[in-house]
Every structure is written in C-alpha cells, then in structure tokens.
C-alpha cells in the first residue's frame, strides 16, 4: 500500500489501460457483482466474450437487475450471464455455492470482489461481520473451489500485532471502537472529507474494475503477486517491514485453524 501522497499522485497521473484480451470460451465468476467494481468488471468480461459469466450476489433480485443492465450495454445473449445466490455472512451459503461451482463443466476465473465495511459492531456466524465476510468466508470459498480451478487450468490450458490470537482480538467487541479510533483511515472517514477526496481523485467504478479484469489475462508469473494499476508492484511500508513475515505466519496459522473448524480438511486444497 503506497503512502497517502503517493496514492494521490498515482490517482491523478496514471491512466489504466482498457481491457482488451479475449475471454472467449471462458467461465468467469465474480462475487459482489451487482454493483460497483464487481459489476463493471462483469461488464468488461461480457464485452470481451466470456462464454459463461456468473454474478455471485447476496440479493438475486439485485443480481438480475445488474444482469439486465450488462446485457443491454454489451448485447450479449441471454444465456451468457447467470445470477447465483451467495451470502458470505453464512458459511453454509458459501459451502452450497462452492458445491454448485464444482459441478460446472469448467471454471477459469474466480474474482472474489465482495466485501463489507460497517460503522457498527455486528456478528455473522459467530464472528465480527467484516472478518467473517472479508476474511473467513473469502478464504473458505477459495479453498473449496481451488481444486476445480487447478484442474481446469490444466484441462483447458490457455502495525504491531496484539499478543495472543489475532482474530480473537479482531472479533472482540470491547476492542472494536478503539480500533476505529486508532485507525488512520477512520480519522479521515468523516462524510465531508471522504466526499471531497472522492471528488478530487476517485476513479470511476469502470476505471477501478480494469485491474480486476487485467488480472484474469495474466500468466503464472503474476500468481501470488500484488497488482495495482494493472501492474505487479512490490509491497511497501508496514507489509514489507520488520516483523511482517512473522505476523504473516501467525495470521496464516490462525486462519487455517479457523477454516478447518468450519470445514474439516479444506486447507489441504491450498
């Protein structure tokens, strides 16, 4: 993640290339695709010839509205886009969705775009909502469909962490307000300042979706890398600083333990 001044500079000076690679014959799945970046990424994939495009959404009604809008703007046939229900706040929904994915003839690209940010403490399936949706369910879905992605890839070639448990600390309601107060981002998230920042430097959702689509056309040399502005970038600052490797190991160990508690044996897919 770049520094704030560097972020502003990049937003103002870098023009992202419009995706142009062909996705003919490809099956693409995008979570959180009824609005925002996910919807605009789906529009690009439809325009670029994806044979099957699955909008994974919590609200099927909103998903169908997005499907109609994308079909109208890209003129794709009615059989290209499908709307599937997926509620990342419920592990059973994730498991059911993954089981359905694994029945598909092929899966080429899974974009896990869905996420939430909330201004109040809530719990989904026993955990703080943002951790459940943005971390546990996201990794659970990845683990459950990764064997399918690997098989089809070959079949169709083309800050200091708290002591103790990290996710327990993040799930602790008593620490939640303090986490907001300690956050640099939270101090900048007053409505007037955020609105001003958006007006000055924010990209459109279509522009922001270009890196998501770009990732789908890249080779194995980009796997596991950090993509920004449609290019591979090295991690910076805290993520690359002293102690980051040790913290990564702790997070991964705790995450895999949580995933095993949700679905026994699932982490063997990684």
List, for residues 214-258, the tens digit of each pLDDT value.
999 998 899 889 888 899 988 877 777 778 888 889 999 999 999
- Residue ranges covered by each domain of the chain: 22-151+159-264
| pLDDT recorded at residue 6 | 78
In contact, 234 and 107? CB cutoff 8 Å: no
* Residue 188: band (very low, low, confident or very high) from pLDDT cuts 50, 70, 90: very low
Architecture of domain 22-151+159-264: 3-Layer(aba) Sandwich (3.40)
pLDDT above 70 (res 186): no
In contact, 52 and 28? CB cutoff 8 Å: yes
Can you tell me which residue has the tokens 């279509």?
A: 206
CA–chain centroid gap for 268, Å, is: 22
pLDDT above 80 (res 77): yes
pLDDT above 80 (res 205): yes
What are phi and psi for residue 152, nearest 5 degrees? -70, -30
Mean pLDDT of the chain: 87
- Mean pLDDT score, 81-107: 97
**Is the pTM for the entire model greater than 0.85?**
no
β strands within 47-133, DSSP E: 52-57, 81-85, 109-111, 123-124, 127-128
Can you tell me which residue has the tokens 């107060």?
A: 181
pLDDT above 60 (res 180): no
Top mean-pLDDT range of 47-51, 161-165, 172-176, 188-192: 47-51
- Lowest-confidence range among 4-18, 95-109, 203-217? 4-18
Cα three-residue angle 108-113-114, rounded to 5 degrees:
125
In contact, 75 and 246? CB cutoff 8 Å: no
Beta strands at 231-233 and 226-228: parallel, antiparallel or unpaired: antiparallel
* Residue 4: band (very low, low, confident or very high) from pLDDT cuts 50, 70, 90: confident
14-51 tens-digit pLDDT? 888 999 999 999 999 999 999 999 999 999 999 999 99
Report the C-alpha gap between 10 and 191 in whole angstroms. 23
């Amino acid at each position: 993640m770049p520094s704030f001044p560097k972020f502003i500079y990049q937003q103002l000076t870098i023009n992202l290339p419009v995706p142009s690679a062909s996705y003919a014959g490809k099956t693409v799945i995008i979570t959180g695709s009824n609005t925002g970046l996910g919807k605009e990424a789906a529009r690009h994939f439809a325009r670029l010839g994806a044979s099957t495009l699955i909008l994974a959404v919590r609200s099927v009604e909103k998903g169908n509205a997005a499907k109609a809008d994308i079909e109208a703007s890209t003129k794709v046939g009615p059989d290209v886009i499908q709307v599937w229900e997926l509620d990342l706040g419920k592990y059973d929904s994730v498991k059911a969705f993954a089981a359905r994915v694994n029945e598909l003839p092929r899966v080429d690209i899974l974009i896990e775009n869905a996420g939430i940010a909330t201004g109040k403490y809530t719990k989904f399936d026993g955990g703080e909502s943002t951790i459940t949706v943005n971390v546990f369910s996201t990794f659970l879905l990845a683990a459950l469909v990764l064997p399918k992605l690997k098989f089809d890839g070959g079949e169709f070639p083309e800050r200091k962490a708290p002591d103790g448990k990290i996710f327990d600390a993040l799930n602790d309601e008593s620490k939640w307000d303090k986490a907001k107060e300690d956050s640099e981002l939270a101090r900048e998230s007053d409505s007037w300042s955020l609105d001003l920042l958006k007006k000055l430097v924010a990209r459109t959702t279509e522009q922001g979706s270009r890196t998501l689509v770009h990732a789908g056309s890249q080779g194995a040399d980009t796997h596991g890398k950090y993509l920004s502005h449609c290019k591979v970038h090295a991690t910076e600052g805290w993520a690359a600083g002293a102690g980051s490797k040790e913290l990564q190991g702790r997070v991964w160990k705790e995450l895999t333990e949580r995933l095993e508690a949700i679905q026994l044996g699932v982490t063997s897919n990684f």
